[in-house]
Amino acid sequence: MHHLKPEIINGDHALEELVVGNVRYVDLKQRHPNQTFRRREELSNGQQPFAVILGCADSRVPPEIIFDRGLGDLFIVRVAGNVINDMILGSIEYAANHLHVPLIVVLGHSKCGSVQAAIQGVNGQGHIACLTEALQPALNEAKEQPGDLANNAARANAKIVAEQLKCSKPVLSGLVNEGKLNVVPAFYDLDTGVVEILS
Ligand SMILES: [Zn+2]
């Protein structure tokens, strides 16, 4: 587990690594890979993460912990509600195009405060309205569905954002069309710790 160049070469294998890491986390059988002094030394001259995680800023959803990974494994962008704007897209494009990361996971989660704020129509002063506005399409979709509105909206949002990333021209859409990049929506359950893959 101490290779700078991982054996992970494609998006399917990368997703499998994340899934098995999450199973270890849920089963309390974590291995805490790549968290040694040696790993830090190996990484000092470069990085080759195997997945991008676009996750929520929520303190209860830290990707390295819930996927049982370590240094240099995951290229993580976190923003409340896991939505995108140009700067976030730029970060993700860097990972996909320059670091050749084969997988992007858009990770929504249960009981998401940003989604709840969008449901309650929180506006007021400051910039939170930017986030709640970005969540409106997901909210509209979820309103038609039975079950928990906030969790359904978080799932819908992960799918919508994954689709936006796949269609983002020219960089990400190009890599997807060449078969070099997978984009997958997922949903983390705060209570069970399980990450559900949505596609
Ligand atoms: Zn959240």
11-197 fold: Beta-carbonic Anhydrase; Chain A (3.40.1050)
Give me the DSSP letters along 116-141.
HHHHHT--SSSSHHHHHHHTHHHHHH
Give me the DSSP letters along 16-58.
HHHHHHHHHHHTT----TT-SHHHHHHGGG----SEEEEE---
Give me the DSSP letters along 62-79.
-HHHHTT--TTTEEEEE-
pLDDT given for residue 46 in this prediction: 96
pLDDT given for residue 122 in this prediction: 79
Distance 99 CA to ligand 1 centre (A): 27
Q: Where does residue 92 fall: left (phi above 0), alpha (psi -120 to 50 degrees), or beta otherwise? A: alpha
CB of 162 within 8 A of CB of 137?
no
CA distance 174 to 166: 9
Question: Can you name the residues that pair with 2 across neighbouring β-strands?
Answer: none
Tokens read off for 27: 């089963």
Distance 151 CA to ligand 1 centre (A): 10
pLDDT given for residue 1 in this prediction: 42
Distance 188 CA to ligand 1 centre (A): 10
Distance 66 CA to ligand 1 centre (A): 15
pLDDT given for residue 199 in this prediction: 82
Per-residue pLDDT 10s for the chain (199 aa) are 444 445 667 999 999 999 999 999 999 999 999 999 999 999 999 999 999 999 999 999 999 999 999 999 999 999 999 999 999 999 999 999 999 999 999 999 999 999 999 999 977 778 999 999 999 999 999 999 999 999 999 999 999 999 999 999 999 999 999 999 999 999 999 999 999 999 8
H or E stretch covering 182? strand 182-188
Distance 57 CA to ligand 1 centre (A): 6
**pTM for this predicted structure:** 0.95
Distance 108 CA to ligand 1 centre (A): 7
CB of 108 within 8 A of CB of 157?
yes
Q: Which of 85, 152, 83, 146 is nearest to 119 (CA)?
A: 152
CA distance 49 to 6: 8
